[in-house]
A and B are shown apart, each in its own frame.
Chain A
Amino acid sequence: MKKFKALLIKDLQINKKTLMIPLWITAGFYLLILLISAVAYFSGDLNFNFADIQGTPPSESINYIVNIAIMGLPGLISLIFIIILTQGALNENIRNNSELFHRSQPVSIWYQSASRYIVGIAGNWLALFTIAIFNFIVIAIILAVTDKFIFGLAISGMAQSVVSFMKTGIIIGSLTFFCSAIFKDKAFLQGLAIIVGVQFLFIILNALMQWHLPLPLNYIIKLINVATPSGMDNELVNENIVYYIREAWMRIVINWNTLLQIGVSGVLFVTATLIYKSREIK
């Protein structure tokens, strides 16, 4: 375990700057809002209250929905950075001319691969968590000042949004990690190009030959399945929103698709590591 911990620390140190970028983007975003708000405040235009808006949903819905919505952009940024980190996971050392140094250490290839996989995916989760905590505090303050802050509903919205992106992140990250074992450069784009190419080929073959070849992209999209809470009624109040949140948890986490996502991610990691292990170090 000591060796694995050392690998994790090393990979975090190497990727620290990249992992920090989503945090800097969020900080920049807040700075911009703060600047706009300050300008509006000093020009006397800042006078906002949820209650003033006609047809405003009840506070319960606002607490839940706002916390889901606020994580949309950070979630997407997190997915982009998962792709950036995992697509270079098994090739960055070669590009950096340090593959021989790292592979000459008495540590298992499985550990080395797992460490890069974890840092590429969970490292970005960690950044997403940090943003989520910060967003939650900001939203809590705004809601408390402008309307009503309901902790249970707010945290449920935030947690469901974060978990949805985490689930999407693990499958996209695993696919990209797998691509990085096959392609040494621009792994994600090359992998995507091949999948899209096969998709079009199968569509053409199906149309010309009346075949029923399975379309890979459809399966992948189904597997990724960004299960965000949706179809919400504006008139949800405290009693039925609890039921709705429970149902959303079932839809997001407790289902076969989650098991399939974890299983496929595991298979992709193992296959990628076996391919990486079979590479010669010249």
Chain B
Amino acid sequence: MIQKNVIKVSNLTKYYGKFKALDNVEIEIPAGRIIGLLGKNGAGKSTFMRCILGFLKHKGEIEILGNQIRRHQESVHENIAFIPDVNSLDDRLTVKQTMDYVSAINSSWNNTKAMELLASSDLKPQQKVANLSKGMKTKLYLLITLSLDVTVLLLDEPTLGLDIVFRKEFFNTILGEFYDENKTIIISTHQVEEVEQILQDIIFIDEGKIILQEDIDELKKQYSIFTVPSDQREKLEQHNPKIISNTLGKVSAVLDSKVEIAEAQVSRPTLSDLFLEMVGGSNEKI
């Protein structure tokens, strides 16, 4: 049966000392979607994911697949697989020991699929995880995650430090081997350009608050990039954009698609453009 919402979060607030990392977050995450979670560093992305997994003390309520969760509730992990940085695998185990361990404690382990994935990879069962390259660790993490029949997959900056080839491979494998209409994937990443094509929904988070949750296609219809010569900058400024970018004698800004500016070039914005428009400028790459 397909659940309407796989995750429902109400009044979620989290403090680290006096710092408010999450501020009264209210969100419903539907089943069968690939969702991007975007925010600057320290915006609350990882905290949000860790609260969902029951790792952090927090105020508010979290429901997963209709069941309210408590902190450190192991049954949460029966339905949710979590990939943080791929370096979090246990370096002291071998590839085989890691697979044996995960398969023995997860009732949803699909051994046939695991063997297929192992055979198609160049991972050697007796090899120590510590001796694997970062790319190989990614393959192992994918192997053990994709061999689990879970409903939700949380990815928290999973490709951090990987080169472009492995980053592409990572997301292609997730899309090809894991995703179907019953499964939900939430991806928090800085490399937004690489996941933009696979995302269906987007959540923008800033200073612990969810500032937007929207279907990406709908969002891109609502906004456009308007580009005018630099000497016509005021034409853009009239519409109060948060950021005006300078490029080769021209200036551009993300504005409502309904806006009409004579002689302006109009193009579709990327997620990065939309993020900067909604959240504001930052020196950090998103």
Interface residues of A, Cβ cutoff 8 Å to B = 2-3, 5-7, 9-10, 13-14, 93, 96-109, 277, 280-282
Contact = CB atoms under 8 A, between A and B. Distances in A.
A277 B87 contact: no
Interface residues of B, number: 29
Contacts of B102: 105
For B81, B92, B97, B100, the residue with the greatest tally of chain A CB atoms inside 10 Å of its CB is B92
Nearest to A102: B90
Interface string B77-110: 1100110100111111100010011101111000
B75 interface: yes
B55 A96 contact: no
B72 A109 contact: yes
B74 interface: yes
Contact of A96 (B53, B78, B92, B97): B92
Given A108-B74, A280-B56, A281-B50, A100 B104 contact: no
Given A97-B88, A106-B78, A10 B101 contact: yes
For A2, A3, A10, A109, the residue with the greatest tally of chain B CB atoms inside 10 Å of its CB is A10
Given A97-B87, A281-B56, A106 B92 contact: no
Contacts, number: 79
A100 B82 contact: yes
Given A10-B97, A108-B74, A282 B56 contact: yes
A98 B104 contact: no
Contacts of A101: 84, 88-90
B57 interface: yes
Contacts of A277: 72
A6 B89 CA distance: 17
23 contacts: A3-B105, A9-B101, A9-B104, A10-B101, A13-B93, A13-B97, A14-B92, A96-B92, A97-B87, A98-B90, A98-B91, A98-B92, A99-B88, A101-B90, A104-B82, A106-B76, A106-B77, A106-B105, A277-B72, A280-B55, A280-B57, A281-B55, A282-B56
A5 B100 CA distance: 11
Given A13-B93, A100-B88, A101-B89, A6 B101 contact: yes
Q: Would you list the 6 A-B pairs with minimal beta carbon distance, nearest first?
A: A6-B104, A281-B55, A106-B77, A98-B90, A104-B82, A10-B101
Interface of B: 50, 53, 55-57, 72, 74-78, 81-82, 84, 87-93, 97, 100-102, 104-107
Nearest to A104: B82
Contacts of B81: 104
Given A105-B102, A106-B105, 16 more contacts: A2-B105, A5-B104, A6-B100, A6-B101, A6-B105, A13-B93, A96-B90, A97-B87, A101-B90, A103-B55, A105-B74, A105-B77, A106-B107, A107-B74, A281-B55, A282-B50
B90 A14 contact: yes
Contacts of B84: 100-101
Given A98-B88, A100-B84, A280-B57, A105 B106 contact: yes
Nearest to A280: B56
Contacts of B92: 13-14, 96, 98
Contacts of B78: 106
Nearest to A103: B55
Contacts of B91: 96-98
Contacts of B89: 98, 101
A104 B57 contact: no
A93 B104 contact: no
A9 B94 CA distance: 13
A18 B90 CA distance: 17
A97 B81 CA distance: 18
Contacts of B100: 6, 9
B232 to A, nearest CB: 49
A265 B85 CA distance: 37
Contacts of A105: 74, 77, 102, 105-106
B53 A2 contact: no
Nearest to B76: A106
Contacts of B75: 106
A148 B231 CA distance: 109
Contacts of A282: 50, 55-56
A95 to B, nearest CB: 11
A111 to B, nearest CB: 9
Nearest to B82: A104
A124 to B, nearest CB: 18
Contacts of B104: 2-3, 5-6, 9
Nearest to A5: B104
Contacts of A6: 100-101, 104-105
A233 to B, nearest CB: 51
